[in-house]
Amino acid sequence: MPLAPPALLEAAAEAAGPLEVEDPAKPWVVPPERIHSVLAALRDDPRLAMNSLMNLTAVDRPEQGQIEIVYHLCSLRHHHEVAVKTLCDRGSPHAPTAVDLWPAADWFEREVFDLFGVVFDGHPDLRRILCPDDWVGHPLLRDYELPKDVHITTDRDD
């Protein structure tokens, strides 16, 4: 039987250390310096077994000077899920990679890097995935302005 949000939070706090969460049914906010250890505990504790990273995305919050990184996790064994987020400084957005925890994080983190400019420290191959290599800026930042003259280069021979 899946754990209800309060029981899930209680088990996560036992595994990862104290978590201050306002509402266990809403995304849990974890400080950036603890996000990797909390994610590892969610994955490794057998009561939680969050063995699937379903999605990793970001939300630009320019009015707060932050970018939210949101991890959607689920346990295929226990049939429960949780959203965990961390906030990084918009001026120099950094977060630790989760590729060592879930290989699927590789492409998710590359997408967030490409579109929001978040640097995932320790990522094995952090480079653009959607925009061309010579693209300037990060198109999903709310203050991004599309250049008036866009020239896209390709390495194709066709």
pLDDT of residue 22: 82
Q: Can you give 47-64 as a three-state secondary structure string?
A: CCCCCEEEEEEEEEEHHH
CATH superfamily of 5-94: NADH:ubiquinone oxidoreductase Nqo5 subunit (3.30.460.80)
Could you give the 3-state DSSP secondary structure of residue 85? strand
Neighbours of 118 (CB within 10 A): 23
Residue ranges per structural domain of the chain: 5-94
Q: Name the region of 139 (left: φ>0; alpha: ψ -120 to 50; beta: rest).
A: alpha
pLDDT of residue 1: 53
Q: What is the pLDDT along the chain (158 residues), one digit of tens a residue?
A: 566 778 888 888 888 888 888 888 889 999 999 999 999 999 999 999 999 999 999 999 999 999 999 999 999 999 999 999 999 999 999 999 999 999 999 999 999 999 999 999 999 999 999 998 888 999 999 999 988 877 666 665 54
C-alpha 4 chain-centroid distance: 23
Listed residue (104, 127, 132, 125) closest to 117, CA to CA: 127
What is the torsion angle, in degrees rounded to the nearest 10, for the CA atoms of residue 36, residue 73, residue 103 and residue 42?
40
pTM over 0.85: yes
